[in-house]
Each structure stands twice: as structure tokens, then as C-alpha cells.
Chain A
Amino acid sequence: MVNLIWVCMLLMGIIVAAVNGNIDAVTTAALQGAQWAVDFALGLVAIMTFWLGIMKVAEEAGMVRLLARLVRPLMTFLFPSIPRNHPSMGAIIMNLCANVLGLGNAATPMGLIAMKELQKLNRGDPKTASEAMCTFLALNTSCITIIPATIIGIRIKAGSVNPTEIVGTTIFATACSMIVAVIVDRILRGIYRSHRWRW
């Protein structure tokens, strides 16, 4: 699936550029994209190192397990394949909380820590996503944000009379997408299990 999307985007881009006589743009864009990706990854080094350190302290103090126990009923419904009180539960819940509060700097490291823990539970091929990972990412990408801070900032700058009036509509739309994400994840998990489809 990703393979197909990737190939289509790249080939279509090159063909369109060639037809438009804009072939130079391909080279520039490719290098720019690569540069951006590396800049982002290197920028991640600092916050990842920091949060991995803090999370290790939290784990040894027993806080991650405590957190996991608190949210167990909900998490066992969403993630039946994760054992009780597994550290990944704590990281998942912290990632979702950070997302809800719009704390991007904490959300990403927590999410990556959660993925690392989920990978330890991945009993299949380590290059293939597990069911728990798919559910986690479905939740993560559709997660409710109570305060869309960036967009409110843009609206204030643009001179909006009521910059926060979009909070209600945002919460409605994001709640819809979260519900659909959970349902679609469940359905696809079932289909995938019964048919063993390969994308």
C-alpha cells in the first residue's frame, strides 16, 4: 500500500514536471525534501534523548506501571493483544494525553517510546506492523485536540473577531474521525485476520 502510494507520487510528479517543461523542479524538490527530513530527524535527537531519559526514571520508579493500571479497562478494550500493566500502556496513554493538550514536543517522543515497547511485543515479522501498532496509530492520527493552539494563533494574527469560535466545530469533527478510526481499525483487523491479505 505505502509502496504503491510512494511510487505513484514520485512517477506522477516526474511525468507532470516533464510535460510542463518544469523538469528542473524535480531535482530541486527531491533534494529539498531530503534535507527537510534529515533536519527534522536531527532536531528529534535532543527531545528524544531527554524524554527517553525521563521515561526510564519513571519506569524504574514504578510510575509507568501505575499509569497503565489506572487506564486498564479502556486499554484492554482498545488493545486486547497487550498484556496487563505492560509499559507500552503508560507510554500510549501519555502520548494521547499530550496530543489532547496539543503538546507536540512531548507527544512525539512518547509516541516513539510507545512504538518501541509495542515492537517488543511484536511476535511476527519485526518489519511488519502489529495489530496493536495499527490501533495505536489510528488513535494517534485521529486524536482530539482540545486547544488547536497553532490555528488560533494564525486567526488572531489575521485579525479575527472571535479566534476561538472554531474550537467547538473542531472538537465535533475530530470526535467523528476518532470514532470512525476505531471502527475502521476493528473492521480491517478482522478482515486481515480472516483473509491474510497482503498489501
Chain B
Amino acid sequence: MIMNMVSLAAKWAIPSILFFITLLAFVRRVNVYESFIEGAQEGFMTAVKTIPFLVAMFVAISVFRASGAMDLFVETVSPVTGFFGIPAEILPLGIMRPLSGGGALGITAELIKVYGADSFLGRLASTLQGSTDTTFFVLTLYFGSIGVSKYRYAVFSGLSADITGFIASVFICNMVFR
């Protein structure tokens, strides 16, 4: 019931935003077409400005993954996390999640395929996937679009949110699905 309402809202959100913005602007005697063009001018530059930032981040992440350094990293920390009741199979996902959305989704799909969607690991991977974000990607993209290269403490707060999401996912899945 609630699910249906939310997905209905998601489907209608953008068309209705477009409708009301255009209507209201027209009623208020804004030259809608001209304003649109004026705003849209900046679209290309905003997107292109992110290129150096995104290239830098993705080259590093890509090399880190493809070289096997990430697997090594996972192997090194898995005994520690295993001690806290975090399954070793889930760890690569936890580490990949802030770095690469596509990579994390690949790991989740793989875990679900191997262990089954309704297994504990499948449910945990699904929860993790939904409750954490690709922090590095978002930071790179958002700061890159305005040319900011010193992120100050944004990395810390973003990562602490991801770590919390990870721990909270393991905790709640252990409570609900075990």
C-alpha cells in the first residue's frame, strides 16, 4: 500500500513539477522560453567542468581494483571484521560501495546470484546497497562541478555515514533475518 503510493509519487513527480513550473511562470508573465534558454546555457560547461575531477578519481579507483590491491586490502582487514560478526563475504561490498556505484552493484548482484536473494547474505547485501552511497563519486562530481579541490572535512563525514550505514545494516539484518 505505502509502497504503491511512493512509486506512484515517484512516477508523477517530474511531470507534475514540469507542469506547475511552466504554468506558474506563464501566469506570472515570465518569458518562459527565454528564461529556459538563459538557464540552459550553462549546462554544457557545468558538465564538462567535472571531467578532470572524475578522470582523476576513476583512474585511481580503476587501477586500485584491477591491480588486485583492493582484494589484498579486503583480505587484510577481514579477520578483524570477522571478529565483530561481519561475514567476510560482505566485506568487498562494504569497501567498494563508497568508491564505485557500478562496482558495488556488480558485487551485490553476484552475491545474490551465488547465495540467493532470500539468503541472509542476499538480504544483507540488498540492505547495504540501499543504505549507503558512493561517497567518493558524489564528492568528486559535486565539488568538481564548481571547481573545488579542497574538500576539508566532507570526506570524514561522508565516510562516517557509510561506516554507520554498514554497521547498522549488519546489526538490523542480524536482528530481523537471523
Residues of A within 8 A of B113 (CB): 158
Asked if A5 CB lies within 8 Å of chain B CBs, one says yes
Most chain B beta-carbon neighbours within 10 Å: one of A1, A2, A125, A128: A2
Inter-chain contact B172/A163, CB cutoff 8 Å: no
Inter-chain contact B3/A147, CB cutoff 8 Å: yes
Alpha-carbon distance A145/B129, docked complex (angstroms): 11
Please, which residue of chain A has its CB at the minimum distance from the CB of B72?
A16
CB distance from B149 to the nearest CB of A (A): 5
Please, which residue of chain A has its CB at the minimum distance from the CB of B24?
A61
CB distance from B142 to the nearest CB of A (A): 5
Task: Tally A residues with Cβ within 8 Å of B.
Answer: 111
Residues of A within 8 A of B127 (CB): 166, 169-170, 173
Please, which residue of chain A has its CB at the minimum distance from the CB of B23?
A61
Inter-chain contact B62/A103, CB cutoff 8 Å: no
Please, which residue of chain A has its CB at the minimum distance from the CB of B149?
A127
Residues of A within 8 A of B3 (CB): 147, 164, 167
Asked if B118 CB lies within 8 Å of chain A CBs, one says yes
Residues of A within 8 A of B155 (CB): 1-2, 5
**In the complex, chain A residues 147-199 whose Cβ is within 8 Å of any chain B Cβ:** 147-151, 154-155, 158-174, 176-178, 180-181, 184-185, 188-189, 191-192, 199
CB distance from B111 to the nearest CB of A (A): 10
**In the complex, chain B residues 99-127 whose Cβ is within 8 Å of any chain A Cβ:** 105, 108-109, 112-113, 116-118, 122-123, 126-127
**In the complex, chain B residues 61-88 whose Cβ is within 8 Å of any chain A Cβ:** 61-69, 72-73
Alpha-carbon distance A182/B7, docked complex (angstroms): 27
Alpha-carbon distance A44/B130, docked complex (angstroms): 23
Task: Tally B residues with Cβ within 8 Å of A.
Answer: 102
Asked if B161 CB lies within 8 Å of chain A CBs, one says yes
Inter-chain contact A33/B58, CB cutoff 8 Å: yes
Inter-chain contact B35/A138, CB cutoff 8 Å: no
Inter-chain contact A169/B173, CB cutoff 8 Å: yes
Most chain A beta-carbon neighbours within 10 Å: one of B22, B59, B151: B59
Please, which residue of chain B has its CB at the minimum distance from the CB of A32?
B62
CB distance from A84 to the nearest CB of B (A): 22
Alpha-carbon distance A111/B114, docked complex (angstroms): 36
Inter-chain contact B148/A41, CB cutoff 8 Å: no
Q: Which 4 residue pairs of A and B lie closest in terms of their CB atoms, listed nearest first?
A: A56-B39, A49-B43, A33-B62, A148-B130
What are 24 A-B interface contacts by the 8 Å CB criterion?
A: A1-B151, A22-B67, A22-B68, A33-B62, A34-B59, A37-B59, A38-B55, A50-B43, A61-B21, A63-B24, A63-B25, A108-B141, A112-B46, A115-B145, A116-B46, A118-B146, A126-B147, A129-B154, A142-B165, A147-B7, A149-B10, A151-B130, A181-B161, A199-B152
